[in-house]
């Protein structure tokens, strides 16, 4: 049973069990259409969780993904609305380029200036979010302003599956290859495990970190277009707070926030898990007011399950201040 000692099979089993449990209560949830919906809904979270995983593996965190997504999405939506003749691939490329650029800013500050990732991405998160407002003047870009192919693309089907799913699958394959089989990916694990040693054995940490955050940004840019097109609206508050969902997906997927540990499959399953819960609660007719509380509870439980055995610590060798006030205690 070594299979179940690993995180990914356990997590996959949790996802399946959850789907079954919901299906028992509400059989409609198990229909092909409903399950396909879950997969489609999970795509954006999966893609963002994958790159966030690479970032967290290097002991970093990218809090600016949601703001980056909003800004790139707004750029794409405004391009689509204001330049009607523009071919769609060009719009998508622009969104990816904007995301990449924003990611490079993070990467430069974190990689080359060696600033703490939490602080840097906290700062850029505010700046990017504010920039969405500056760019749009606070106005919405709604469905009727965007060209029809722009909106239709994410849910159009290729060989029976929506483009969204294909894109997410391609991202999954690409990231799995990057993380497992490329020098770049292996270096990220080395950096996360022992940053000092990584430097000594000749890993160019600066460059690696730069491109990790750039990758995170580029995928956020792509997701920006997909998000705006899928929900057919762009506004300042888009994906507000989504960065925490992305990080939660990674953590549930067994990515250690301390760096060096994490798999692509785990992050994807973590994202799928959160999406299943998000989709199951309305089906079970749980009041929307309970949904946030239950999501929080589930995150905590999943984290607790994941963390079994990590609490091992070295032995205390000196008596504790305060606790040792009673002198006879140690004699017992």
Binding footprint of another protein on the chain (CB under 8 A): 61, 109, 113-116, 118-120, 122-127, 129-131, 133-134, 138, 236, 244, 247-248, 251, 257-258, 287, 289-297, 299-300, 303-304, 307, 310-311, 313-314, 316-324
Return the number of the residue (63 or 203) whose C-beta is nearest another protein: 63
CA distance 9 to 16: 10
Least separation in angstroms between residue 133's CB and another protein is 4
Return the number of the residue (91 or 252) whose C-beta is nearest another protein: 252
Return the number of the residue (128 or 189) whose C-beta is nearest another protein: 128
Pure H helices in 232-285: 242-252, 264-283
Return the number of the residue (232 or 256) whose C-beta is nearest another protein: 256
Radius of gyration in angstroms for the set of CA atoms belonging to the chain, rounded to a whole number: 22
Return the number of the residue (201 or 304) whose C-beta is nearest another protein: 304
Least separation in angstroms between residue 20's CB and another protein is 24
CA distance 130 to 149: 29
Least separation in angstroms between residue 251's CB and another protein is 5
Least separation in angstroms between residue 250's CB and another protein is 10
Handedness of CA 95, 99, 100, 105 (dihedral sign): positive
Local structure of 62: helix, strand or coil: coil
Return the closest-CA partner of residue 73 out of 54, 52, 53, 95.
95
Structure tokens at 306: 């994941």
Least separation in angstroms between residue 295's CB and another protein is 5
Q: Are 250 and 262 in contact (CB under 8 A)?
A: yes
> In sequence order, what are the residues at sequence separation of 6 or more whose Cβ sits closer than 8 angstroms to the Cβ of residue 111?
205, 206, 207, 208, 209, 210, 213
Q: Both ends of the chain: CA-CA distance in Å?
A: 42
Return the number of the residue (34 or 121) whose C-beta is nearest another protein: 121
Q: Are 73 and 234 in contact (CB under 8 A)?
A: yes
Return the number of the residue (129 or 208) whose C-beta is nearest another protein: 129
Return the number of the residue (64 or 171) whose C-beta is nearest another protein: 64
CA distance 328 to 276: 54
- Angle (deg, nearest 10), helices 117-136 and 88-107: 140
Return the closest-CA partner of residue 250 out of 36, 65, 3.
65
Q: Please count the CA atoms within 13 angstroms of the CA of 221 that sit on its side-chain side.
A: 22
**Residue 185, H or E segment:** helix 183-193
Least separation in angstroms between residue 169's CB and another protein is 28
Least separation in angstroms between residue 267's CB and another protein is 14
Return the number of the residue (2 or 287) whose C-beta is nearest another protein: 287
Structure tokens at 192: 């996360």
Least separation in angstroms between residue 159's CB and another protein is 37
Least separation in angstroms between residue 182's CB and another protein is 28
């Amino acid at each position: 049973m070594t299979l179940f000692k690993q995180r990914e099979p356990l997590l996959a089993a949790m996802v399946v069990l959850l789907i079954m449990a919901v299906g028992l209560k509400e059989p409609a949830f198990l229909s092909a259409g409903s399950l396909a919906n879950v997969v489609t809904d999970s795509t954006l979270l999966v893609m963002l969780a994958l790159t966030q995983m690479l970032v967290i593996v290097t002991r970093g965190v990218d809090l600016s993904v949601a703001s980056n997504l909003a800004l790139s999405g707004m750029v794409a939506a405004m391009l689509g609305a204001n330049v009607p003749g523009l071919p769609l691939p060009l719009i998508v490329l622009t969104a990816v380029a904007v995301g990449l650029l924003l990611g490079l800013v993070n990467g430069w500050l974190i990689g080359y200036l060696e600033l703490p990732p939490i602080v840097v991405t906290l700062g850029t998160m505010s700046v990017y979010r504010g920039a969405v407002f500056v760019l749009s003047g606070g106005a919405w870009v709604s469905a009727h302003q965007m060209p029809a192919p722009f909106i239709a693309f994410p849910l159009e089907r290729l060989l029976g599956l929506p483009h969204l799913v294909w894109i997410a699958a391609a991202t999954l394959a690409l990231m799995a290859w990057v993380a497992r089989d490329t020098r770049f990916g292996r270096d990220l694990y080395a950096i996360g495990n022992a940053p000092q040693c990584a430097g000594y054995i000749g890993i160019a940490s600066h460059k690696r970190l730069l491109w990790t955050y750039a990758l995170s940004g580029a995928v956020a840019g792509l997701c920006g277009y997909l998000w705006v097109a899928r929900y057919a609206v762009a506004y300042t508050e888009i994906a507000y707070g989504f960065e925490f969902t992305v990080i939660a997906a990674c953590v549930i997927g067994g990515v250690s926030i301390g760096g060096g540990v994490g798999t692509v499959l785990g992050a994807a399953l973590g994202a799928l898990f959160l999406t299943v819960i998000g989709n199951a609660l309305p089906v079970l007719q749980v009041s929307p007011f309970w949904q946030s509380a239950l999501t929080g509870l589930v995150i905590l439980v999943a984290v607790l399950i994941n963390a079994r055995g990590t609490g091992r610590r070295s032995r205390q060798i000196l008596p504790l201040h305060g606790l040792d006030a009673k002198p006879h205690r140690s004699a017992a």
